[in-house]
C-alpha cells in the first residue's frame, strides 16, 4: 500500500509515521507514504497557493495549478510501481467514511490524498483530477490533514500484519454492523465494580454469546440506525427477544 499526500503541512503526518501501530506497520514495510507540499510547485517568490474567490465572499480558495502539478507528480510515482492511482479529496461535502468504504479503499494499492485548506479548492481541479471526495463527519475542520490521517489510520490497521493480534481488526466496531462489546482487564474488583462472571468462567461459548448480546444492546441503545440497516441473524433475534422478555417481566 502506498499513500501520496498533498498538504501544506507535511510535518503533521509525523503523527502517522512516528507513533503507534501505524509507525510499526511502516517499519514492517506494510505501507509507504510520501507527503508533497504544493508550495514546491508554485512559480512566484511568495510561493502563493491561494487567491480570492471570483464572485466575492470570505476567505481564500486554493489555486488549481500548484495542486494539479503536485498531484500529477504524486500520480507519476505511483504509476512507476505499476499501480493505477486513485485521487481522493478530504472534504465535508464528500461521501461519509464508513468501515465498508475503508475496506473498499484497501483494495486500491496507490492513493493520492488531497488535504486542502482555506475555503476550498478551485472546482476545476475537482472536476478534472479528483476521483472522489470523502468526509469524516458533518462538521468543518481547519484543514484536510486530520481527516487524511483518519482515513490512513483506518486503512493501515486493516493491512495484514499491522495489528499484534490477527483477530483485532475483525472484532472492531462496525465490522459486522454492530458496536463493539465492553472490555475488561485486571483488577477483578475496582471501586466496588466487578468483572462480569461470564468472562471469568472459561466457557468460551457463553463468553461469545454474552459479547454478542452486549454488542446488540449497545448498538440498539446508541446507534439504532445500524440495527435498522441490517438483517438480524436467528441467534441475534433470539438473544434480543430473551432480553426483552426478561425486561418485561422485571417491570411487571
119 annotated active-site: yes
Write a three-state SS string for the chain. Answer: CEEEEECCCHHHHHHHHCCHHHHHHHHCCCCEEEEECHHHHCCCCCCCCEECCCCCCCCCEECHHHHHHHHHHHHHHHHHCCCCCEEEEEEEEEEECCHHHHHHHCCCCEEEEECCECCCECHHHHHHCCCEEEECCCCCCCECHHHHHHHHHHHHCCCCCCCCCCCCHHHCCCCCCCCCCCCCCCCCEECCEECCHHHHCCCHHHHHHHHHHHHHHHHHHHCHHHHHCCCCCHHHHHHHHHHHHHHHHHHC
The catalytic residue among 77, 157, 211, 223 is 157
The catalytic residue among 119, 153, 180, 209 is 119
The catalytic residue among 10, 92, 133, 209 is 92
44 annotated active-site: no
172 annotated active-site: yes
In sequence order, the 6+-apart residues with CB closer than 8 A to the CB of 11 are: none
The catalytic residue among 132, 153, 172, 209 is 172
Catalytically active residues are 92, 119, 157, 172
Amino acid at each position: 500500500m502506498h499513500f501520496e499526500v498533498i498538504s501544506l503541512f507535511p510535518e503533521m503526518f509525523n503523527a502517522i509515521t512516528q507513533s503507534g501501530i501505524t509507525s510499526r506497520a511502516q517499519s514492517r514495510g506494510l505501507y509507504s507514504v510520501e507527503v508533497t507540499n504544493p508550495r514546491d510547485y508554485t512559480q512566484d517568490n511568495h510561493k502563493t497557493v491561494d487567491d480570492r474567490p471570483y464572485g466575492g465572499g470570505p476567505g481564500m480558495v486554493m489555486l488549481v495549478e500548484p495542486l494539479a502539478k503536485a498531484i500529477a507528480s504524486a500520480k507519476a510515482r505511483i504509476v512507476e510501481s505499476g499501480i493505477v492511482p486513485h485521487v481522493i479529496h478530504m472534504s465535508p461535502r464528500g461521501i461519509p467514511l464508513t468501515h465498508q468504504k475503508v475496506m473498499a479503499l484497501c483494495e486500491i494499492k496507490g492513493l493520492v490524498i488531497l488535504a486542502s485548506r482555506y475555503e476550498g479548492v478551485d472546482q476545476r481541479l475537482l472536476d478534472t483530477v479528483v476521483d472522489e471526495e470523502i468526509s469524516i463527519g458533518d462538521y468543518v475542520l481547519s484543514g484536510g490533514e486530520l481527516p487524511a490521517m483518519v482515513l490512513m489510520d483506518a486503512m493501515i490497521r486493516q493491512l495484514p500484519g499491522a495489528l499484534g493480534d490477527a483477530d483485532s481488526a475483525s472484532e472492531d466496531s462496525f465490522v459486522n454492523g454492530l458496536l463493539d462489546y465492553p472490555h475488561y482487564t485486571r483488577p477483578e474488583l475496582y471501586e466496588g465494580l466487578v468483572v462480569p462472571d461470564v468472562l471469568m468462567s472459561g466457557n468460551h461459548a457463553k463468553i461469545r454469546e454474552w459479547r454478542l448480546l452486549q454488542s446488540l444492546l449497545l448498538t440498539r441503545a446508541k446507534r439504532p440506525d445500524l440495527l435498522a440497516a441490517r438483517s438480524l441473524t436467528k441467534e441475534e433475534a433470539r438473544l434480543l427477544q430473551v432480553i426483552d422478555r426478561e425486561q418485561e417481566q422485571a417491570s411487571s
